[in-house]
């Protein structure tokens, strides 16, 4: 698919013309507030989800799947939360809202929708797992950073779809990551992510991660968060681009975070268990 690159002035103009950049869903906003205030009680979570019938229905539906062994026996939201667990319910809620965002009737193809969702959820699980042993930040915050760090791709898919498709086709043809070719088309998902983070009034750490997770050395603040999410992003792409996992750029950021070679190898091995969960939850939620 051919696509002409955009110059900076055209990008700024087109972004300014986006009148319908999605407002931050209130449930996501509230869940992020809960995470930052470290409120984790099932009752609090139930009160948030209860205001959104689609979320409540989704959580009860997941609780009734054979995966949890209660098929057809979960009738209340509180029971579903108790069975699934608070942290997993948070992931389900945010992932459901992200899926709704990707299914809003615009031109995102089913293949790209699945790709973007699975990358977000895998990143969330990997980030949470790493922070269990390396408590640089709250594990729930790390999980949310994993979910939202690549929202710029979603904005691009929805509002610059011609360039989005061309970027991924070019990357596939050349067998290289899409972020390595996107500037050929005049825009980047990190630039769009930064804009969305400002639009949604995300915390400053979220903005830094969304803008600099491919170039941590350029971030002037929240360096630990940005470096961690860079590593998470590499790991969540390890099936497509395994060479990135142990290249010198990646390893340099491991060293900055005092992750030794043996620990990095253990982290890579643990990621292999993430994919089955990602695929399973996608099948449950879609």
Task: List the CATH number of the domain containing 223.
Answer: 1.10.3210.10
Domain match, 47 and 96 both: yes
Domain match, 89 and 130 both: no
Written as tens digits, the pLDDT of the chain (286 aa) is 445 555 666 666 666 655 555 566 565 666 666 655 555 678 878 887 877 787 888 889 888 887 777 888 888 999 999 988 887 787 777 777 766 666 655 667 888 888 988 898 899 889 988 998 887 787 878 888 898 899 889 888 877 888 899 999 999 999 999 999 998 888 889 988 888 788 777 889 999 999 999 999 999 999 999 999 999 999 999 999 999 999 999 999 999 999 999 999 999 998 988 888 788 778 777 6
Last residue of a domain, one of 88, 104, 120: 104
In a domain, 1, yes or no: no
Domain match, 197 and 118 both: yes
Domain match, 116 and 79 both: no
Last residue of a domain, one of 104, 127, 162: 104
For residue 286, the SS3 value is coil
Task: Find the DSSP H helices in the chain.
Answer: 8-17, 26-37, 42-49, 53-63, 77-84, 86-102, 110-133, 139-148, 151-159, 161-174, 189-199, 204-212, 223-236, 248-256, 261-271, 274-285
Last residue of a domain, one of 74, 104, 134: 104
Q: Which two tokens stand for residue 65?
A: 């799947």
**Closest of 223, 220, 196 to residue 207, by C-alpha:** 196
In a domain, 6, yes or no: no
Those residues whose C-beta lies under 8 Å from the C-beta of residue 62, and which sit 6 or more positions away, are 68, 80, 84, 92, 284, 285
Q: Which two tokens stand for residue 51?
A: 């205001």
When divided into structural domains, the chain yields a total of 2
Phi, psi angle pair for 245, to nearest 5°: -65, -35
Task: Find the DSSP H helices in 51-138.
Answer: 53-63, 77-84, 86-102, 110-133
173 vs 175: CA distance, rounded Å = 6
Domain match, 58 and 190 both: no
Those residues whose C-beta lies under 8 Å from the C-beta of residue 53, and which sit 6 or more positions away, are none
In which domain, by residue range, is 198 found? 109-286
For residue 108, the SS3 value is coil
In a domain, 14, yes or no: no
In a domain, 49, yes or no: yes
Is 189 within 8 Å of 168 (Cβ atoms)?
no
């Amino acid at each position: 698919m051919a696509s002409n690159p955009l110059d900076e002035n055209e990008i700024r103009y087109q972004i300014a013309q986006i009148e319908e950049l999605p407002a931050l869903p209130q449930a996501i906003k509230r869940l992020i507030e809960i995470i930052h205030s470290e409120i984790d009680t099932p009752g609090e979570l139930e009160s948030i989800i209860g205001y959104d019938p689609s979320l409540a229905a989704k959580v009860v539906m997941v609780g009734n799947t054979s995966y949890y062994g209660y098929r057809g026996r979960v009738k209340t939201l509180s029971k579903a939360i108790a069975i699934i667990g608070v942290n997993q319910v948070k992931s389900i809620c945010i992932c459901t809202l992200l899926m709704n965002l990707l299914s809003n009737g615009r031109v995102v193809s089913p293949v790209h929708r699945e790709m973007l969702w699975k990358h977000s959820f895998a990143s969330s699980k990997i980030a949470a797992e790493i922070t269990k042993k390396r408590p640089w930040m709250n594990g729930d915050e790390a999980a949310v950073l994993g979910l939202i760090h690549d929202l710029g791709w979603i904005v691009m898919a929805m509002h610059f779809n011609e360039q989005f498709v061309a970027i991924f086709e070019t990357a596939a043809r050349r067998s290289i990551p899409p972020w390595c070719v996107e500037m050929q088309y005049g825009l980047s998902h990190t630039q769009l992510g930064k804009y969305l983070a400002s639009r949604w009034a995300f915390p400053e750490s979220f903005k830094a991660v969304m803008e600099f997770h491919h170039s941590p050395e350029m971030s002037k603040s929240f360096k630990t968060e940005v470096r961690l999410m860079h590593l998470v992003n590499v790991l969540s792409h390890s099936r497509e681009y395994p060479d990135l996992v142990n290249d010198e750029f990646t390893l340099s950021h491991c060293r900055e975070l005092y992750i030794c070679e043996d620990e990095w190898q253990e982290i890579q091995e643990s990621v292999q268990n993430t994919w089955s969960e990602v695929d399973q939850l996608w099948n449950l939620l879609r």
